[in-house]
Structure 1
Amino acid sequence: MIGLRLRSLFFNVGWYVGTTILAIAGSPILLMPRRFVVAWSLVWIDFCLWWLRITCRLTHRVGGLENMPTGPVIFACKHQSSWETLAFSRLFPGAATVMKRELVLIPIVGWAMARAGNIAVERGDGAKALRGLVKQAKATLAEGRSILIFPEGTRVAVGDEKPYQVGTAALYRQLGVPVVPVALNSGLFWGRRKFIKWPGVIDVEILPAIPPGLGRDVFMATLRERIEGATDRLVAAARERERK
């Protein structure tokens, strides 16, 4: 356990130091076109994932690549860990992530999130927030880009449950594009609000797309069943590997 704590400490220190250096050195890029901001952000993400692998021996693999779409879609992803906020920009290049607006207030890093073309939404703003979400999402699709949303709206620990939020259903109804569910088991290795990062391999699985045109209740039930069923399977498989 001491070794795990030290490795996690090394990761955190390197993460903060590396992020600070890259943020300061790259801040002039915020004045450049979006493609340069995105490229700079990917350098930061690659550093973080590399440092995570070196210090904590934590890597990932992606299954279901045959389900990766060729055109713009809505990726609806399970959210268990901070890991997704690092890795998904690399796994789903070009996609605009739906995030809470307060994140864009973080100096340099938050500004880069906004300049990279992500979708910021004001939490607790009801119908107004939904209208803003749909408006930004339509503009994103018009650019030929996909949208990435976490249906639960926040990180949820392994084994816990949280209702799926209405934003995903609103996008599905208004945009008329397929929704691609994504399952994972990252919370086993980097838990919500946990200091220790456990070594291992995070599994991400891209599931078959849900076509447009379903009723809201049927869509939400189908989405939840697919994501939660696949997530439970990935979690169980990882635990079985650990027992061996």
Structure 2
Amino acid sequence: MRGLFFKAVFYPVSVGFVLLAPLFALAGREPLTRHVHRWARFHDWCARTLLGVRWRLEGEVPPGPALIAMKHEAMYETIEALLFLDRPAPVFKRELMDIPIWGRACQRYGGIVVEREAGAKSLRAMLAEAKELIAEDRPILIFPEGTRVPHGQRPPLKSGMSGLYRILGLPLVPIACDSGRLLPKNGPKRSGTVTFRVGETIPPGLPRDEVEARVHAAINALNG
């Protein structure tokens, strides 16, 4: 029943937020960012009130531009991350940008669009988008597993994370989370506290194998 109540409140109201987003986008990125932040706070209220789900942050996310690699177990962290990261710019799949209204708002909010088969032109556009966001002191948020993963599973990381790490030359901050423990994709939702654990910052310039091993261990720190 918790999940049904949540869906009955959160999704209809979210439609209103999405429809209003283009109006805020016309006013500029900052008004749109505030609008998105209000939506994230609404999601947090729904999760706390209707699902009984809260979160805590263990550790501190360093300020300034960085590549944030986060464990992905539920939709929950994709929205709640907006509340403890400073204007995070997510890595979007091209398919999301093609959604009417939503895609336009995402583009205005700021993010990096990843093509499944990126050619040289797409890579140049991606790098230009990233440099613009870095100039605004925004972190880049990526979910290196590529999709939601059931709690307890540790699949290998997709190559996109290490590619961005190499190209952007930013420090990398891994973040573990255990949202799937309470909010599985299939099955009943449970109340409780989701933990986000910030791992040790990884400096730029390290070999790919070392970076991927360190990130894999850090984002799975709550799966034991």
Normalised to the residue count of structure 2, the TM-score between the two structures is: 0.91
Cα 1:133–1:127 change in 2 (3 A) is same
Report how far residue 195 of structure 1 moved: 5.7
CA distance in 2, matches of 1:105, 1:226: 33
Is the CA contact 1:95–1:147 (under 8 Å) kept in the aligned structure 2?
Answer: yes
CA distance in 2, matches of 1:145, 1:47: 22
Report how far residue 126 of structure 1 moved: 4.4
Match of 2:33 in 1: 38
Match of 2:216 in 1: 224
SS at 1:231's partner residue? coil
Match of 2:18 in 1: 23
State how 1:1-244 maps to structure 2 within 5 Å.
6-65=1-60, 68-122=61-115, 124-128=116-120, 131-192=124-185, 194=186, 196-228=188-220, 230-233=221-224
The amino acid across from 2:166 in the alignment is: R
Q: Which has the higher helix share?
A: 1
SS at 1:153's partner residue? coil
Cα 1:130–1:191 change in 2 (3 A) is farther
CA distance in 1, matches of 2:19, 2:128: 32
Is the CA contact 2:179–2:194 (under 8 Å) kept in the aligned structure 1?
Answer: yes
Flag as ranges the 4+ runs of structure 1 deviating above 4 A: 126-132
Q: How many residues align?
A: 223
Is the CA contact 1:8–1:195 (under 8 Å) kept in the aligned structure 2?
Answer: no
The amino acid across from 1:174 in the alignment is: I
| Runs of at least 5 residues in structure 2 that lack an aligned partner in the other structure | none
CA distance in 1, matches of 2:191, 2:100: 31
SS at 2:222's partner residue? helix
Report how far residue 111 of structure 1 moved: 2.6
User: Identity over aligned residues, as a percent?
Assistant: 36
Is the CA contact 1:121–1:132 (under 8 Å) kept in the aligned structure 2?
Answer: no
SS at 1:44's partner residue? helix
Is the CA contact 1:178–1:211 (under 8 Å) kept in the aligned structure 2?
Answer: yes
CA distance in 1, matches of 2:111, 2:34: 14
Greater Cα radius of gyration, structure 1 or 2: 1
The amino acid across from 1:210 in the alignment is: I
SS at 1:160's partner residue? coil
Normalised to the residue count of structure 1, the TM-score between the two structures is: 0.84
Cα 1:132–1:198 change in 2 (3 A) is farther
Report how far residue 27 of structure 1 moved: 4.0
The root-mean-square deviation of aligned C-alpha atoms, in Å, is 1.9
